[in-house]
Structure 1
């Protein structure tokens, strides 16, 4: 069974900001998201799951999860989630703030934006259309 993960993207206002940060910090290497706790349902995340990112209260993109690994041992143990380097834009979906990460069931995940759809729409306009129920 597939399961997704959702996490706030702190310090980035848009997908472009996230990509710029990645180029500056992990250029050429794998895209790794680090967290304290290793998910107990890691097998379900790796079986086709994605990390959905929340920017300023709105889910804007996802990245496929390639691996979930625990690094270190004891109190120093951490989790590294290896991600596909290419973000996929999704239909902007409001999401309240939370700490850490959460599981996201496939039925609750936003749909991918099609290439010919609204992929280049400004983020502010997409948010207003979504809030008005027009999109």
Structure 2
């Protein structure tokens, strides 16, 4: 995501119930095994009004324990109608979870738009076997601007 496109917008979303990137990866791997589908889908109540910009190279940035830590590219938006008859938005995401430079984010509900110029940069691919830093340490280092 190195270059920013002025016609692109991203989303940022709290990753509820997950404490670490490793937990998110494990949950996603389990879902892939259960469904046989590589891409993942996050269902939300609101449909993004800036749909065209989101689908023009946008990503969903995940906030874990108060820190943006990863993103997934948005592939498409699917209409999902539940048993209650309510129309919801299924944000279909690319399978790869891309780690980004940690950025502190206050709690919020739902999702928010994130301008490309405000999005944290991607980190180099993690080497196999590199331990994940504890979320509290990541948050503190991001808070003081070291990460």
TM-score bracket for this pair, using the shorter chain length: 0.7 to 0.9
Structure 1 residue 122, shift from structure 2 partner: 1.1
Which residue of the partner structure matches residue 83 of structure 1?
93
Which residue of the partner structure matches residue 3 of structure 1?
9
In the alignment, the residues of structure 1 paired with residue 66 and residue 79 of structure 2 have an alpha-carbon distance, to the nearest angstrom, of 29
Do the aligned partners of residues 19 and 115 (structure 1) sit closer, same or farther apart at CA in structure 2, a change above 3 Å counting? closer
Which residue of the partner structure matches residue 66 of structure 1?
75
Runs of 4+ residues deviating >6 angstroms: none
Which residue of the partner structure matches residue 4 of structure 2?
none
110, 113, 124: which is aligned to 1:103? 113
**Structure 2: segments with no counterpart, 5+ residues:** 1-6
For normalisation by structure 1, the TM-score amounts to 0.88
For normalisation by structure 2, the TM-score amounts to 0.81
Q: Secondary structure at the match of 1:69?
A: strand
**Structure 1: segments with no counterpart, 5+ residues:** none
Which residue of the partner structure matches residue 51 of structure 1?
60
- Measured against aligned partners, the alpha-carbon deviations of 1:66-88 in whole angstroms (never above 9, x if no partner) come to 00122239951111011011110
